[in-house]
Amino acid sequence: MRGGARRAARLALAACLLALAALSGGCGSDRGSPVVVLGPWTGDEGKAFTAVLRELSRGSGHTYVYQGTRSLRETLVAQFAAGAPPDVAILNSIGELTEYAVQDKLRPLDPYTAERAYSPWSPTLMLDGRRRTYWVPLKVDLKSLVWSRAGSSSTRPAWCVGMAAQATSGWPGTDWVEDILLHQAGPTTYVQWATGQLNWAKSPELKRAFTTWAALLDARGQRSSKAVERSLTMSFWGTPDPEHPAAGPRGLLGGSLPGCTHEHQASFVRYLYAPRDDIRVEPAARFLHGSAAYKDAFEVSGDMAAVLTENPGAQELVQRLTSDEGRQKWSDAAQDHLRPFFPDETDPQPDDNPAAQEIATYLTKEAKTLCFDASDVMPPVLRDAFYRAVLTYFRSPDAPTLDKLLGQLETVRTQIAGTYTTSAVRTPTEICR
């Protein structure tokens, strides 16, 4: 598509989004060159982020237009194919971001914004002999957490597991395997595995992580075929209460999966449980049969902003969003239970209930090691194969199945080895700190 056609397509997209935003009251009062933002938040989270953009647009000379979608990768790929990418995209995958940077679809961030690119959410990228920062965390989440009903036994937990998702079914299972490997084998092995330096089929540490996960789930006493299929088709959202359907999803601990007492899930799930005072949170290390040396290690994830066009308003917006003022405005705009966690201990953090306060303390003070979600570091094709593999293993957690799956994953890793290291790019390896 030629440059003029691309500009026309982008302007058409911006016009459509502006019209939608105007109808919903989502536009700021300023009228300037539109800056289109594609991100993962919908519903109340999307409304809070739109409110922040409205505030930040005042006096900027720009109008910020937000498009939220649960099918983020698919939407962005389609927009790239149409030659009409958004000005700013918010993604949670270092693997995808690296892929786009190598394809020259990202613009390096300006130096001021790069200072807000905290490790391990934003490792620098060596591309064509130059080390640059291409993305920066807007909000972050702490993983390596277990949620449970107050009064339930921690010695024999019955695990709630929901493996389904709209576009990426299987990631709750990969979270388990990653977390177990981190706590059993430590950060060095974890980094080697996440960055393509470990043989999937020959790693005893990785095999042990899978079998530990299977043993933990077997201990719940819910391995009937009916229970397994229910977990495979249930997401972490759960289902609404039949007596109060308007209240929306209630989470797995809210009764969506009967008979379970504990859930291994990241900090974002708190918005499902925040109104309740009978849900507690604690470090997952207490449950994973890991080494005491790694008990203060946590996985993390993040929603990172990248600039995709030469629109100067895009760089300015990312700078504003990552500023102290921008983070405070975001925190103020969100409902208490939707207030985001941010990467620095000086940032405003949620404190609306004890669980939020505990998570903020783990994230900014007590964690000795933070490692970025391993599957989100992997190239997308390997990550997606990993997702599919854990779904298969969840259904059939036996040794022959595991050996076959690890062999298949090693084949994928070998086939895309050049994605990790080529003459043009060095994939980030500083994913733990």
DSSP 262-282: EEE--GGGHHHHTT-SSEEEE
Distance in angstroms (rounded) separating the CA atoms of residues 87 and 321 = 14
CB-based contact 35:65 (threshold 8 Å): yes
Q: What is the pLDDT of residue 54?
A: 95
In whole angstroms, give the CA distance from residue 224 to residue 244. 29
Instruction: Name which of 192, 205, 182 is nearest 296 in CA terms.
Output: 182
Instruction: Provide the CATH number for the domain formed by 3-141+301-345 in this structure.
Output: 3.40.190.10
For residues 217 and 223, is the Cβ–Cβ distance under 8 A? yes
| φ and ψ of 245, to 5 deg | -65, -30
Q: Taking the domains of the chain in order of start, what are their residue ranges?
A: 3-141+301-345, 143-300+346-433
Please report, in tens digits, the pLDDT of each residue of the chain (433 residues total): 433 444 444 444 444 444 444 333 343 333 557 999 999 999 989 999 999 999 999 988 999 999 999 889 999 999 999 999 999 999 999 999 999 998 999 999 999 999 999 999 999 888 878 889 999 999 999 999 999 988 888 888 999 999 998 778 999 999 999 999 999 999 999 999 999 999 999 999 999 999 999 999 986 555 678 889 999 999 999 988 888 787 788 899 988 888 899 999 999 999 888 877 789 999 999 999 999 999 999 999 999 999 999 999 999 999 999 999 999 999 999 999 999 999 999 999 999 889 999 999 999 999 999 999 999 999 999 999 999 999 999 999 999 999 999 999 999 999 988 666 655 566 688 999 9
Cβ neighbours for 224, distance < 8 A, ≥ 6 positions apart: none
Determine the pLDDT at residue 13.
47
Q: In what order do the strands lie in the sheet with 130-132?
A: 130-132, 125-127, 425-426
CA–CA distance, 341 with 138 (Å, rounded to integer): 9
Q: What is the residue whose two structure tokens read 């620095």?
A: 344
Residue 85: name the closest of 67, 58, 60, 110 by CA: 67
The C-alpha atoms of residue 66 and residue 20 are separated, in whole angstroms, by: 10
Q: What is the pLDDT of residue 419?
A: 64
User: Rounded to two decimals, what is the model's pTM?
Assistant: 0.90
Query: What are residue 138's DSSP bridge partners?
Result: none
Q: What is the CATH number of domain 143-300+346-433?
A: 3.40.190.10
Cα dist from 428 to 182, 304, 317, 377, whole Å: 18, 15, 25, 8
CA–CA separation, 181 vs 155, rounded Å?
Answer: 21
Q: Give the number of residues written for the chain.
A: 433
**Domains 3-141+301-345 and 143-300+346-433 equal at CATH topology level:** yes
In this predicted structure, what is the pLDDT of residue 14?
Answer: 46
Interacting residues of 277 by C-beta distance below 8 A, sequence separation 6+: 150, 353
